Amino acid sequence: MKKTTTKIKHVSMLLFFIFATACSSDDDSATSTPNVNEPIVNYPSSTISATFFEAGNSAAPNITWNGDVGTFSLVTPLDGLSINANTGILSWTKSLPQGNHAIQVIIANSTGQKSVNLILQNKFHGNFTHKFEGTCSYELHFSPDGSLRVKYMRGADILANGSWEINDNELTASYTFINDNEENSIRALLVHTSTEVKLEGNWYNGLGATSGQEGGSINLKLRELPPGDGIITIRDSGDYFVRFYDSCGAACCFSTIQSAMDAYPNRILTYLP
């Protein structure tokens, strides 16, 4: 009799366990939500190249949201840089500073977030022309690889070769003239706004831009010079000065722009302040 009672108890407990488990499974299936995972995002390259003083944008990343659409954002703001919150495309304006910028993109949805680290390269380069006080005015071409070529303004022949470097926004360059091995250098502050880029500083006798060897000031601008024979600029003294594109020669001094133009009636001269 005891053995029969014991068997009944065991069977009853087993049936109760099976029923309870079945109910629990039904409850879980009724209240569970679909599994949502963090997004998977891959940019075509971890290094993105911009062109100095030109607006542009990156390629769109490949995105797998895993059922839950989220947003993109930048961890640290950078002047001239923005990100599309829906597509992850980076866009920049002409204000984007020169140099290599470490960019961290955050991709977030309801289950969490992940980050992607990118490098945005904006290498300084370009043709700078305008004013060299105390000497000829030249056109300086700064290449992204750190090399430098010197020409007359709007000239074709290379007059000097050299190199340059930039730390923060201070640029130094040294160059040697081909015909006589004369050595000059410049040290200038890069002034970069949304509308123009300038180099303001001094040129030096000798290499290395050594203090005490200043030859005069410089005010160079990133731009194409207008067509013509030369430009009229103004000295710090207030005198107007003619600088010809194709040579070192120029005539000084004039009290007005009109008097400078009258002195060269057969020339096309443009005033650049």
For 227-266, the pLDDT digits (tens) are: 889 999 888 788 999 988 887 877 889 999 999 999 999 9
pLDDT, average across residues 218-230: 90
C-alpha to C-alpha distance for 42 and 211, rounded to whole angstroms: 50
CATH 2.60.40.60, the chain: domain bounds: 40-123
* pTM score, whole prediction: 0.80
Provide the pLDDT for residue 36. Answer: 59
CATH 2.40.128, the chain: domain bounds: 125-224
40-123 folds as Immunoglobulin-like (2.60.40)
136-162 in b/e burial notation, b at 16+ Cβ within 10 A?
A: ebbbbbbeeeeebbbbbbbeeeebbeb
Provide the pLDDT for residue 24. Answer: 44
pLDDT, average across residues 161-180: 97
C-alpha to C-alpha distance for 69 and 3, rounded to whole angstroms: 62
The pLDDT of residue 180 is above 60? yes
CATH classification code of 125-224: 2.40.128
pLDDT, average across residues 54-73: 93
Cα 125 from chain centroid (whole Å):
11
The pLDDT of residue 271 is above 50? yes
At 84, the pLDDT band (50, 70, 90 cuts) reads very high
Q: What is the mean pLDDT of the chain?
A: 87
List all residues 6 or more positions away from 269 whose beta carbon is below 8 Å from its beta carbon.
Answer: 228, 229, 230, 231, 232, 242, 260, 261
